[in-house]
Chain A
Amino acid sequence: MDAILIQILNGLDKGGAYALIALGLTLTFGTLGIVNFAHGALFMLGSFCAVLFNKLLTLSVKVKDESITFFDAYKDQPYLETWFGETGTAIIDYSVPLSILFAIPVMLLIGIIMERGLIKHFYKRAHADQILVTFGLAIVMQEIVRHFFGANPIPMPPPDIVSGSAPIGAFLGINENLVYPWWRLIYLCFSLVIIFIVFAFLKYTTFGMVVRAGMADRETVELLGINVQRRFTIVFGIATVVAGLAGVMYAPILPPDYHMGMDFLVLSFVVVVVGGMGSLPGAVFAGFLLGILQSFASMNEIKSIFPGIDQIIIYLVAVIILLVRPRGLMGREGVFED
């Protein structure tokens, strides 16, 4: 029972990341009709926003280390500590959550530049061309990151206060020894909040209503004199931000490295396909579902029956879904069902 609960939780935080990336992918596909193979790279860029922000916060000056008296020793002291003392230290400690504030404008800018500069020219081109050009863009992005940040993963610590494990067993009153890392729990909640915000935005704002109408029937909305294109561009920016935020918060779970985007991209595409191309709830649902499935498959009991199942479960599910129900679990009938 405990083991199952732990596996579900393990799956949920990874599923949260899948769901967020898949949500963005689906948004771009549903609005602009673009198959974006660079979406994983945007997730990676988000992670590196956290890294960059942390670097900016810890810009240091060399000062004399007073604690060592035998010889002249120097240590790096971040400017923030020099200026604000304790508060500065606290800000540095919270660099990962704070970098959300940094990542939102940066990712929005990247998304809008990307859409206006490149994607715009590919609306009318074949899907194969879209895949290829965004694939090229993904390579370019990850190589640029590698040039500036190196090839090694960069560990990003979560704030001290949540670096330990949460005694969730005690919360639920089942088993005192059942613990779960705080940060993963936070990630899960964070992803749920973001998903909720995106859905609420699409559902309850005029902007969202226009976007949904445009997704359903672009021509009619345009005939009503609404500039659908500009709204879709903004939606692309939002999708970029969502991927970026997913990356920022994932940094303490998985130390960012330059090719993490590619790894997540393939999985997220699978998630989108399983959920149903163009279906937002499908993407979210499939994201969590596949996350949980993957974590169950990595249990030793299951691995001993089907060796290697943890590596391939997601792809296997995708293959079966595509062959049996090509529109995906929640896809609308006739949407990209070929």
Chain B
Amino acid sequence: MIKNFLKSTPLIMLVFSAVVLTAPIWLDPIGASYPDLLQKFAIFGIFAVGYNLLFGLTGYLSFGHATFLGVGSYTAVWSFKLLSMNIIPAMILAIIVSGIFALIIGFFSLRRSGIYFSILTLAFAQMAYSLAYSVLTPITNGETGLQLAQQDPRILDSLAGVVVKDGLPSPNIFGLAIPRELSFNLFGLDVNIGAGYLGFYVAAIMLIIVFYISLKIFRSAFGLKLLAIKSNQTRMKYTGFNTRPYLLTAFVISGMYAGLAGGLLASIDPLAGAERMQWTASGEVVLMTILGGAGTLIGPLLGATIIKYLENIFSALNPTELHSIFSFMPEGLQNIMVTIVAPFVGEGWHLTLGLLFMIIVIFLPGGVMEGLRHLGNLVKRLFGFNKTESSIESISSVSNTSPEGEAK
């Protein structure tokens, strides 16, 4: 009874929404409560949750998902330029266009599986990236990146009589400019959203919506079929299923998630560049998913948050700051520590990222979620709670991470 209640969709969604929406409060103690970073958490969370729908459920390792992120960004900026500065049409268009891209790329790539699939997606991604830099410059504005201009047409805005007088217009949601402060009265409570937080809340609401969709997919017959493809595609085929339409659907949905993430990135900072489509960016989303735990519901979100948080901390450090961190040590030891740590921070953040990647793949293929599960089991054994289950398990139990069940 209680077990079922803990696993019920409304409860999970309620807890999830509460946790996400109060993130600015509870992330404050670890210094992560400013809009820029919060937005990144939410946006890359969406990206990773979407990627997980493909990789986590079907085991197909795509190395080209950043393409859809880039396509989403470009579409959103074009929507700002041509249609309106409102982010709603921009995001809808970003989702649609990246969905179309995913359909085309997925249609071809999914003819193969395993490593060939990875290489095909990589090839398509590299093609898109090179084209964005070269021939498609009229659309993508090459190395400079696509930017807004004051004299853009903005058809819908000009029909509505919005005139931009000086400077660049900023993206808005029905007139509320994203970077703006906002105060309103909600049921007698004075709500004050500081500058920049509106962007986070837009992203957070999107995250809640897509998380709900992802939860539904995990618990649907469709999700089970995807899992079946992961554990044994051949057997699945023998039972009479044509697996390709399911795979393609999963691919397109995850492409749309990436497009949405790209659109949101552009909404917060209306600029799109081809470097978002580079294959290292695709590698990053793979890492996020794996770090958190591929195939689990909230794992990828955790992974995205951890990576963006670490990136934020590590890449900002420099030797001077390291000295102040280790200042409690005696002088000599302090210098030694700084020398050891310095290559891993600041510019060397990617080194830490690479090491993290390797450590996770080697020692914890199930990611943080698997680690938590082990920890939970340990606690249970130590204290003898054999009957009750922790809430973490209730969420992760829908997952199925069998190491042997890779697609061939």
Contact = CB atoms under 8 A, between A and B. Distances in A.
A133 interface: yes
Contacts of A136: 287, 354-358, 361
Contacts of A146: 347-348
A75 interface: no
Interface stretch (B6-14, B67-75, B122-130, B369-377): B122-130
A1 interface: no
Interface residues of B, number: 47
Interface residues of A, number: 40
Contacts of A266: 122-123, 126, 279
Nearest to B342: A147
A311 interface: yes
A314 B408 CA distance: 25
Which secondary structure characterizes the binding site on chain B?
Answer: helix
Contacts, number: 123
A206 B99 CA distance: 55
A5 interface: no
B268 interface: no
A143 B358 CA distance: 14
A312 B124 CA distance: 9
A272 B166 CA distance: 55
Nearest to B233: A338
A216 interface: no
Interface stretch (B78-86, B106-114, B298-306, B380-388): B106-114
B59 to A, nearest CB: 7
A139 B279 contact: no
Interface string B326-350: 0000000000000000010001101
B108 A128 contact: no
A137 B283 CA distance: 13
B65 to A, nearest CB: 14
Contacts of A318: 119-120, 123
Which secondary structure characterizes the binding site on chain A?
Answer: helix
A285 interface: no
A55 interface: no
B351 A338 contact: no
A6 interface: no
A137 B131 contact: no
B119 A132 contact: no
Contacts of A305: none
A315 B354 CA distance: 26
B372 to A, nearest CB: 20
Given A127-B115, A266-B126, A308-B131, A132 B357 contact: yes
Nearest to B105: A319
Interface of B: 59, 61, 108, 111-116, 118-120, 122-124, 126-127, 130-131, 133-136, 279-280, 283, 286-287, 290, 343, 347-348, 350-351, 353-358, 361-362, 365, 403-404, 406, 408
Top-6 shortest CB links A-B:
A308-B135, A139-B354, A136-B357, A311-B130, A126-B406, A143-B351
5 contacts: A126-B403, A140-B358, A146-B347, A322-B112, A338-B112
